[in-house]
Amino acid sequence: MPKFFIKTYGCQMNERDSEQVAHSLIARGYERVGCESDADVVLLNTCSVRDMADQKALGKMGMLGRTAKERPDIVFGFLGCMAQARGASLLKEMPHLDLVIGTQKFHRVVDYVEEALEQKRHRRMDDPRFSIVDVEAEIGSQSTIRDQWVAPKQATAFVSIMQGCNMHCTFCIVPRTRGAERSRTIEQIIAEVRALVAQGVKEITLLGQIVNLYGRHEFGKCDGKSPFVQLLEAVSSIEGLERLRFTSPHPIGFRDDLIAALASLPKLAEHVHLPLQSGSDRILKAMHRTYTPEKYLSLITKIRSARPGIAITTDIIVGFPGETDADYQLTRNLVEEVQFDNAFVFRYSRRSETPAADMPDQVDEPVKEQRNRDLLELINASTRRANEKLVGTKAEILCEGLSRTNSARLMGRTRTNKVVVFEADEDRIGKIFDVAIEHANGFSLYGRPVN
Ligand code: SF4
115 and 156 inside one domain: no
- Give the residue with greater pLDDT, 119 vs 269: 269
Q: Please state the domain count of the chain.
A: 3
By alpha-carbon position, which residue is closest to atom 1 of ligand 1? Answer: 167
Q: Which residue among 344, 364, 388 closes a domain?
A: 388
Ligand 1 centre and the CA of 285: distance in Å?
14
Q: Which residue among 355, 388, 421 closes a domain?
A: 388
Range list of β-strands (E), 306-360: 311-318, 342-347
Average pLDDT over residues 109-121: 91
Q: Apex CA 118: angle with CA 67 and CA 61, to 5°?
A: 25
Q: Is the pLDDT of residue 421 over 90?
A: yes
Ligand 1 atom at minimal distance to the Cα of residue 173 = 8
Task: Determine the pLDDT at residue 444.
Answer: 87
Mutate which of 47, 168, 174, 212 for ligand 1 pocket (most atoms within 8 A of beta carbon): 174
Task: Determine the pLDDT at residue 141.
Answer: 85
169 and 115 inside one domain: no
- What's the pLDDT tens digit per position in 402-413? 998 888 999 999
372 and 402 inside one domain: no
Average pLDDT over residues 365-387: 96
Q: Is the pLDDT of residue 126 over 70?
A: no
Q: For every residue of the chain, which 3-state class applies, written as one string?
A: CCEEEEEECCCHHHHHHHHHHHHHHHHCCCEECCCHHHCCEEEEEECCCCHHHHHHHHHHHHHHHHHHHHCCCCEEEEEEHHHHHHCCHHHHHCCCCCEEECCCCHHHHHHHHHHHHHHHHHCCCCCCCCCEEECCCCCCHHHHCCCCCCCCCCCEEEEECEECCCCCCCCCCHHHHHCCCEECCHHHHHHHHHHHHHCCCCEEEEECCCHHHCCCCCCCCECCECHHHHHHHHHHCCCCCCEEEEECCCCCCCCHHHHHHHHHCCCECCEEECCCECCCHHHHHHHCCCCCHHHHHHHHHHHHHHCCCCEEEEEEEECCCCCCHHHHHHHHHHHHHHCCCEEEEEECCCCCCCHHHHCCCCCCHHHHHHHHHHHHHHHHHHHHHHHHCCCCCEEEEEEEEECCCCCCCEEEEECCCCEEEECCCHHHCCCEEEEEEEEECCCEEEEEEEC
Q: Is the pLDDT of residue 313 over 60?
A: yes
Ligand 1 atom at minimal distance to the Cα of residue 168 = 7
101 and 217 inside one domain: no
83 and 197 inside one domain: no
pLDDT > 90 in the chain, percent? 78
Q: Is the pLDDT of residue 448 over 70?
A: yes
Q: How confident is the model at residue 304 (pLDDT cuts 50, 70, 90)?
A: very high
Average pLDDT over residues 366-376: 98
Ligand 1 atom at minimal distance to the Cα of residue 178 = 5
Q: Is the pLDDT of residue 125 over 70?
A: no
Q: Which residue among 352, 373, 388 closes a domain?
A: 388
Average pLDDT over residues 315-323: 98
By alpha-carbon position, which residue is closest to atom 4 of ligand 1? Answer: 209
155 and 49 inside one domain: no
Other CB atoms within 10 A of residue 268 CB = 22
253 and 373 inside one domain: yes
- Ligand 1 binding pocket, CB closer than 6 Å: 165, 167-169, 172, 174-175, 209-210, 250
What domain range includes position 203? 141-388
- What's the pLDDT tens digit per position in 80-114? 988 998 999 999 889 899 999 999 999 999 999 99
Q: Is the pLDDT of residue 124 over 60?
A: no
